Amino acid sequence: MSYDRLPQKARQLREEVADLLAQAEATDAREDAEADADRRGDDVPAELQRRETRLGRIREAKRALEARAKAEAAAAGQPTESVKPAAKAQYNFTDPDSRIMKGPDGFVQAYNAQIAVDDLQLIVGQAVTQETNDKQQLVPMIATIAEQSGDTPTELLADAGYCSDANLAAIEATPIDAYISTRKQKHGERPGPCPRGPLPPTATRVDRMTRKLHTKTGAAIYAARKTIVEPVFGQIKQARGFRQFLLRGLEKVQGEWALVCTTHNILKLYRMSLW
> How does residue 43 score in pLDDT terms, banded at 50, 70 and 90?
low
Beta strands per DSSP E along 86-223: 99-103, 106-110, 112-117, 123-129, 155-158, 177-180
Average pLDDT, integer, range 97-102:
93
pLDDT of residue 32: 66
Which residues, 6+ apart, have CB-to-CB distance to 184 below 8 Å?
A: 159, 160, 161
CB-facing half-sphere around the CA of 212: CA atoms within 13 A: 17
Average pLDDT, integer, range 24-46:
65
Average pLDDT, integer, range 199-228:
92
Average pLDDT, integer, range 37-58:
72
How far CA 192 is from CA of 78, 210, 221, 226, in Å, comes to 42, 11, 15, 18
Average pLDDT, integer, range 226-247:
94
**Among the ranges given (15-29, 119-133, 161-175, 238-252), the one the predictor scored with the smallest mean pLDDT:** 15-29
**What is the spatial distance between Cα 59 and Cα 257, in angstroms, rounded to a whole number?**
31
